[in-house]
Amino acid sequence: MINGVIIKGIGGLYSVKTAEGIYSCNARGIFRKDSFKPMIGDFVKLGELNRSEMSAVIDEILPRKNSLIRPAVSNVDRIVLVIASTAPAPDLLLVDKLLVSANIKEIPVVLVVNKSDQDNAVAENIYRVYSKCVEKCIMTSAIEKKGIDSLFECIGSGISVLVGQSGAGKTTLSGIILGDSELKTGTLSKKTERGKHTTRHSEIFPIPGYDDAYIIDSPGFSLFDLTDTESGELHCFYPEFSNCSDLCRFIDCSHTGEPGCVVDGLLSSGKFDKDRYARYVFLYKELKEKEKNKYK
């Protein structure tokens, strides 16, 4: 029996990358019965190896660290959130929602402020605010090939999932990461397969020159919906509040205007960006409203 990782899955046939090469695999019937289907990113054990044909059967799926629905992928090591400096205008509320969701799932986020060539000052301002609340924040220009080394440093191992608004530059950056040859293969296979949406989600690409690093591109921005948290817990997922939210006068402070709240100090010292805080208050009220309707 050997181990591998599922890098592609189409119509019940899985490509599994192993130390011996890539095997074409079916899954044991038992998975289908349990409605627990293998997904890309899964670490698996293979049996019934046929080395001349490079075919095998997936015997076992190892426990998943995490999983995403869109794109459907498991064992994600980081989310690479790509935004443009000016066009398309970055939707920072969407960024904040994604950061909260990723924090809930305990998946680190690398924020890539791409298109720094459009407006470097704007890119730097976003960097200033967000480098404090993500694992890593970098500025790139895919067009001018700037910041690409830093990007490679962030994604050099494990599975990275590129997400972000349509037009931010995810596919362009993927092309640079994978090099021309991979991109061409990807484009080719896209054309020959039916079902555009599933095809785009059904493959993680090994990064050339790395042993154990993969990326998956995703279209648009459909990854998360902020439903996994309650208003009272929202602050737990803002690094700006960490270690200090119990210093407020009221034990159940929502940090939305109560007297004696630590947020005043964080705002005046610049530790919490004013606009990001305003978006926190907006999200808090949105969650509160949802809860009110739910319990009516």
Ligand X SMILES: Nc1nc2c(ncn2[C@@H]2O[C@H](COP(=O)(O)OP(=O)(O)OP(=O)(O)O)[C@@H](O)[C@H]2O)c(=O)[nH]1
Binding site for ligand X (CB under 6 A): 114-115, 117-118, 141-143, 164, 166-172, 219-220
Among the listed ranges 6-14, 120-128, 203-211, 259-267, the one in contact with Zn ion (CB under 5 A) is 259-267
Dihedral over Cα of 136, 139, 143, 144: its sign: negative
Partner whose binding site includes residue 89, from Mg ion, Zn ion, ligand X, none (CB under 5 to 8 Å by kind): none
| Terminal Cα-to-Cα distance of the chain (whole angstroms) | 55
Q: Is 248 in the site for Zn ion (CB under 5 A)?
A: yes
Among the listed ranges 7-15, 129-137, 168-176, 195-203, the one in contact with Mg ion (CB under 5 A) is 168-176
Among the listed ranges 2-10, 30-38, 50-58, 167-175, the one in contact with Mg ion (CB under 5 A) is 167-175
C-beta of 16 vs 83, nearer to ligand X: 83
Q: Is 170 in the site for Zn ion (CB under 5 A)?
A: no
Q: Is 235 in the site for Zn ion (CB under 5 A)?
A: no
Partner whose binding site includes residue 208, from Zn ion, Mg ion, ligand X, none (CB under 5 to 8 Å by kind): none
C-beta of 73 vs 168, nearer to ligand X: 168
Check: CB of residue 169 under 8 Å from CB of residue 84: yes
Give me the least distance between CB of 111 and Mg ion, in Å please. 18
Give me the least distance between CB of 222 and Mg ion, in Å please. 12
Contacts with Mg ion by CB under 5 A: the residue count is 2
Q: Is 171 in the site for Mg ion (CB under 5 A)?
A: yes
Give me the least distance between CB of 239 and Zn ion, in Å please. 15
Give the pair of three-digit tokens for residue 61.
Answer: 């799926």
Partner whose binding site includes residue 15, from Zn ion, ligand X, Mg ion, none (CB under 5 to 8 Å by kind): none
Give me the least distance between CB of 249 and Zn ion, in Å please. 8
Q: Is 261 in the site for Zn ion (CB under 5 A)?
A: yes
Contacts with Zn ion by CB under 5 A: the residue count is 4
Q: Is 126 in the site for Zn ion (CB under 5 A)?
A: no
Give me the least distance between CB of 187 and ligand X, in Å please. 12
Give me the least distance between CB of 251 and Zn ion, in Å please. 10
Check: CB of residue 264 under 8 Å from CB of residue 156: no
What DSSP line would sit under the chain, residue for residue? -EEEEEEEEETTEEEEEETTEEEEEEEPHHHHHTT----TT-EEEEEEEETTTTEEEEEEEPPPS-EETTTTEES--EEEEEEESSSSPP-HHHHHHHHHHHHHTT--EEEEEE-TTT-HHHHHHHHHHHTTTSSEEEE-BTTTTBSHHHHHHHSSSEEEEEE-STTSSHHHHHHHHHHHHHHHHHHHHHHHSS-HHHHHHSB-EEPTT-SSEEEE--SSS-S--S-S--GGGGGGG-GGGTTTGGGSSSTT--SSS-TT-THHHHHHTTSS-HHHHHHHHHHHHHHHHHHHHHT-
Binding site for Mg ion (CB under 5 A): 170-171
Binding site for Zn ion (CB under 5 A): 248, 253, 255, 261
